[in-house]
A and B are shown apart, each in its own frame.
Chain A
Amino acid sequence: MTVPFLKIDGIRKEYGPVVAVEDVNLTIERGELVTFLGPSGSGKSTTLYILAGFEKPTLGDIRLNGQTLLSTPSHQRNIGMVFQRYTLFPHLSVGDNIAFPLKVRRKSKADVTERVREMLKLVRLEGYEDRKPAMMSGGQQQRVALARALAYDPPILLMDEPLSALDKKLRDELQHEIRRIHHETDVTILYVTHDQEEALRLSDRIAVFSKGRIDQVGTGPELYADPATRFVAEFVGDSDFLSCRVTHSQGGRANVVLGGDFAVEGVPLHDERGTPGEGALLLRPERIDLSRSEPTGWRGLPVRVDDVTFLGSNVHVIAQTGWGETVSVRLPFGHEHISGLSRGDEAWLRFDPNEAHVFV
């Protein structure tokens, strides 16, 4: 068996009585871009700070190429990091900021000059060498921070919500840049974010954090198509949840009843050890079909339309079931049943039980 590049092994972090991180395990391949996705307080940043060495885990180990990292102090770990806040050294010019880690490593003057030039080119800020950080925009500052963190060729780059202070347009632009730089440098990136869209856009794999644990690790499509927990289903992509009763379960599938009499059979089942018998049925808004007339040949879930919103390429329909739960449905523009659909209309919904999920 080969030794994994980076292994996070059973990390636990307690702050007094509070458990911030609980049994986090993750294996990361060289050159991967893995995001830690989760809401604030889910333990994703704490895990990153343990990797950086600013926090010590209560239990567990982190191994890089089989060697534990925990006994190495932060400044000798040779890890790069871009922070959420702007952390350029305010008294140094852009060039001197990028040169800082190289000077600390006592590189020769020629090497430093050459490397600074290379890094500025990588982040597309040639000619900004003599600027002071305060004269640059937030996006430019984070680019310089990225250049500084990569200047010494670290095997791992940590990024702690580096774009959260930027506006949407800049964020999109820098996400693109980060992907490009990741391809060009082959550095392994661990990226913390609470923004699912950002995670989906950037990552090779996503680790979804909830309440100090990793709920699921996988590629974006994997998480979307087959969420392991209700939390993952809610956090990645849009979702509809309908409460249901489980009447029968076997071999990872369940038969459920919605609203007293609407039976759905053979839905993939995820056991979260909730109240037995009671569950939530997950549907994806774009995987639901809508019909204006009582369908023949299949049994539709009758609903009343509450709202119809035109969103360009698709149309968003909010409907209410007979027992008062709300379902949102996204239909492609031009769908046969959309024209003239308005508030108060009756409609019937259809979905494939294989694409639904039940969480109990």
Chain B
Amino acid sequence: MLLDFDRLGWWRWALGGFTAAVAAFLLLPIVFIAALSFGSSQWLIFPPPSWTTRWYSELFADQRWLDAALNSLKIGLVVTVLSVVIGLAASFALVRGRFRGRETLKALFLTPMILPVVVLAVALYAFFLRLGINGTMTGFVIAHLLVALPFSILALTTALEGFDKSIEDAAILCGASPFEAKMRVTLPGISAGLFSAAIFSFLTSWDEVVLAIFMASPTLQTLPVRIWSTLRQDLTPVVASVSTLLVLVTIVLMLLVALIRKGLSKP
């Protein structure tokens, strides 16, 4: 092979170094945040003069943080369920349907991915004002559903395209009604795609800040909004500890996706 790694000589070291530099660039900020969240300095000094878990205690003692986390969780879970259900229905139509404008429709479903979120946020804000659902759970869920759906549809159309329809047909000839065949054969067959869709939908909502700032009210805030508003008022290491926990949740979920994919691809 032209680019055989073993034959690159000293280039190997250069490549290795470059890779390490990129990884450091991506990961170090996260490591710093985690370190700072355990640092004793009020002013986020690095390296920390000494170590403490004080910021975590403060965090868990503050009802406002807990409320924000709970709101994020609730919105995230509702968005996940709706995103997977709607995404599944849309994906069946996009993959199995034979109608004019199918490709166009698919592109349309994915536009929230490329549309600047702030544009979407302003538009939704104006629209929701009229509907009177600004600052409500419903408003949050609809806004987040819009940005989560493309991920769900992408994961599910890919999964469905990879699932041979003959398998579903075989189930139908075995005596299962078309609905039963989908529930008992097709959905278990694309379970990896369903998990991906669910986790990405959840993470999209859980991390989302722009739409959330527009949707939020003093009584209804999500975790990212709370972090944002806290940062604007005072720079407390509590923010670092929240961030660390957020990163932890994300890592756990991503690991879960990887494990499930691996587990399902194995017989």
Contact = CB atoms under 8 A, between A and B. Distances in A.
Interface in A12-70: 52, 54
B267 A77 contact: no
B250 interface: no
14 contacts: A74-B172, A75-B172, A75-B174, A75-B181, A78-B175, A81-B169, A81-B173, A87-B164, A90-B167, A100-B184, A101-B174, A101-B175, A104-B176, A132-B267
Nearest to A105: B175
B173 A52 contact: yes
Interface in B232-267: 267
Nearest to A101: B174
B175 A152 contact: yes
B121 to A, nearest CB: 41
Contact of B189 (A76, A86, A89, A149): A89
B213 interface: no
Given A87-B167, A87-B169, A104 B174 contact: yes
Task: Tell which of B173, B176, B188 has the most Cβ of chain A within 10 Å.
Answer: B173
Contacts of A86: 164
Nearest to A100: B174
A79 interface: yes
Interface string B167-208: 101111111111011001100110100000000000000000
Contacts of B164: 85-87
Contact of B173 (A75, A85, A89, A135): A75
A78 B174 CA distance: 7
A236 to B, nearest CB: 29
Nearest to A158: B173
A85 B176 contact: no
Contact of B188 (A77, A91, A132): A91
B191 A83 contact: no
A83 B169 contact: yes
A154 to B, nearest CB: 9
Interface of A: 52, 54, 74-81, 83-91, 100-101, 104-105, 132-135, 145, 148-149, 152
Contacts of A152: 174-175
A-B pairs with the 8 shortest C-beta distances? A101-B174, A134-B267, A87-B170, A132-B267, A91-B188, A104-B175, A87-B167, A83-B166
Interface string B216-246: 0000000000000000000000000000000
A329 B258 CA distance: 63
Contacts of A148: 170, 174
Given A85-B164, A90-B167, A135-B267, A79 B173 contact: yes
A112 B172 CA distance: 19
A91 B191 contact: yes
A307 B184 CA distance: 60
Contact of B169 (A54, A76, A134): A54
Interface residues of B, number: 21
Nearest to B181: A75
A74 B167 CA distance: 14
Interface of B: 164, 166-167, 169-178, 180-181, 184-185, 188-189, 191, 267
B262 to A, nearest CB: 14
A89 B167 CA distance: 7
A51 to B, nearest CB: 10
Contacts of B184: 100
A77 B173 contact: yes
A92 to B, nearest CB: 8
A162 to B, nearest CB: 11
A100 B184 CA distance: 10
A77 B174 CA distance: 9
A135 B191 CA distance: 19
A305 to B, nearest CB: 50
A90 B184 CA distance: 11
Contacts of A80: 173
A54 B171 CA distance: 12
A85 B167 CA distance: 9
A75 B176 contact: yes
B249 to A, nearest CB: 29
Nearest to A160: B166
Contacts of B173: 52, 74-75, 77, 79-81, 149
A277 to B, nearest CB: 48
Nearest to A74: B172
Contacts of A101: 174-175
A145 B177 contact: no
Nearest to B163: A90
B171 A89 contact: yes
Most buried by A among B166, B174, B181, B185: B174
B166 A85 contact: yes
Contacts of B267: 132-135
Contacts of B166: 83-85, 87
A87 B178 CA distance: 16
Nearest to B265: A134
A82 to B, nearest CB: 9
Given A54-B169, A81-B170, A81-B173, 16 more contacts: A52-B173, A75-B178, A77-B173, A83-B166, A84-B166, A87-B164, A87-B170, A88-B167, A90-B167, A100-B174, A100-B184, A104-B175, A105-B175, A134-B267, A145-B170, A148-B170
A52 B169 CA distance: 9
Nearest to B188: A91
